[in-house]
Amino acid sequence: MSLEEDLRTVLHERAAQRVPRPDLLTAVDAGIRRDRRRRQALAAGGVAAAVVAAAVAVPATRHKEADPAPPTTKWEWSRPTQRIAVFPLNPSWAPPGLGEPAVTQMGPNRRIDYTRGAQTLSAEIGPLEPGWEVEAEREHTATVNGRTATVHTSTTYDGAGPGDRFVGVRWQLPDKRWVQVISLGPPTEADVLRFASGLKNGSVDGTPAGFHLGAYPPQLTLQHQSAETTCLAPEAEAAHERQPTGLCVSLLDDAEPPSDPAGQLSINGNAADYYAGAALLHIHLPSGKVLEITWDPEMIKLGFQDVVHFATGIEVTG
């Protein structure tokens, strides 16, 4: 038996050992962004070159524990055209001091985020209606560029500091797309409405991801795109899901390994850990970063060789 065959046998045996683990559905958008705010607050207070690798954050890929990997599929692998996320409106005014915006594709929606420490101001547009993220203490209506908008406000939220407040504004355009603005921080309702009214025709480009995908399985399309994470999913899923899902690649500063037993291998000369039971591959880069690949095994059937082939084709650029 060759080394490769022996490794595949061991990984398949370990994948058959079911290990309880949390349901990743709990990592929804609000939770991801709350965690980001906590990290930002703490900071304010105080494969060729590699292979594979999220709101914006680690993707909330929805799947149960993987069954043993199926045999390698004889696919006609696709070659992607790498592109950046583009927000299809141009903010004409934003509160001062928020820094450069980040743009994210969230299924068919697009979002732009401004951050400073734990403060965030975001706008999202698309056919899917976003959630409010914070429970409102008060609700009323206002007018934004001639459209009736719902306004949610609260004097506090998880992670709020002195003087912080939550303000959310949501309205629908004539073409049925939703627009939502969320502020977590000092801006007043008047500031948030001014920002919302200033969303004009134009666009804002996002930041390119720190890696390029090589070949990927057929019948998948771009579902999520940010500076940190790229996800591919079937078209039907990509059209109806805002959260990262499908086959996701993220470039992370660090990554906590799951409790599942890992199989060790090398991807393009980099040490890698393959967690068959968690549908997860971690590649440890010379920079100290981790290239993470995760997938939904119920949505996308990937064998061990498929994962290795996909991972080997990714080039890290950042």
pLDDT tens string 133-144: 999 999 999 999
Distance CA 223, CA 235 (A): 8
Q: Indicate the residue among 205, 229, 246 that finishes a domain.
A: 205
**For a pLDDT cut of 90, what percent of the chain falls above it?**
64
Identify whether residues 187 and 225 lie together within a single domain: no
pLDDT band at 285 (very low <50, low <70, confident <90, very high): very high
Residue 25 pLDDT > 60: no
Identify whether residues 125 and 272 lie together within a single domain: no
Whether pTM exceeds 0.85 = no
Distance CA 230, CA 144 (A): 33
Q: Indicate the residue among 205, 236, 256 that finishes a domain.
A: 205
Its sign, for the CA torsion 140, 142, 144, 145, is: positive
Specify the pLDDT at position 106.
97
Identify whether residues 55 and 115 lie together within a single domain: no
Identify whether residues 55 and 142 lie together within a single domain: no
Distance CA 8, CA 24 (A): 26
Specify the pLDDT at position 99.
86
pLDDT band at 79 (very low <50, low <70, confident <90, very high): low
Question: Residue 152: in which H helix or E strand, if any?
Answer: strand 147-154
Specify the pLDDT at position 76.
66
Specify the pLDDT at position 299.
95
Residue 15 pLDDT > 50: no
Residue 305 pLDDT > 50: yes
CATH code at 132? 3.30.200
Strand 138-144 to strand 147-154: parallel, antiparallel, or no bridges (unpaired)? antiparallel
Distance, first Cα to last Cα, the chain: 39
How many domains is the chain partitioned into structurally?
2
Identify whether residues 139 and 98 lie together within a single domain: yes
149-183 pLDDT per residue, tens: 999 999 999 999 999 999 999 999 999 999 999 99
**Of the candidate ranges 47-51, 58-62, 188-192, 197-201, the one whose mean pLDDT is the lowest:** 47-51
Residue 226 pLDDT > 90: yes
Identify whether residues 305 and 213 lie together within a single domain: yes
Identify whether residues 198 and 211 lie together within a single domain: no
Identify whether residues 214 and 309 lie together within a single domain: yes
Structural domain range at position 256: 3-82+207-316
Distance CA 51, CA 178 (A): 36
Identify whether residues 94 and 35 lie together within a single domain: no
Identify whether residues 245 and 291 lie together within a single domain: yes
- SS3 of 271-312: EEEEEHHHCEEEEECCCCCEEEEEECCCCCCCCHHHHHHHHH
Specify the pLDDT at position 259.
84
Q: Which of 207, 205, 209, 181 is nearest to 193 (CA)?
A: 181
Phi and psi dihedrals of 161, rounded to 5?
-105, 180
Distance CA 3, CA 9 (A): 10
**Of the candidate ranges 30-44, 158-172, 213-227, 298-312, the one whose mean pLDDT is the lowest:** 30-44
Identify whether residues 197 and 158 lie together within a single domain: yes
Residues 29-50: what's their mean pLDDT?
A: 41
Identify whether residues 227 and 298 lie together within a single domain: yes
**For a pLDDT cut of 70, what percent of the chain falls above it?**
74
Residues 209-214: what's their mean pLDDT?
A: 91
More confident residue, 95 or 68: 95
Distance CA 70, CA 304 (A): 8
Q: Indicate the residue among 205, 239, 260 that finishes a domain.
A: 205
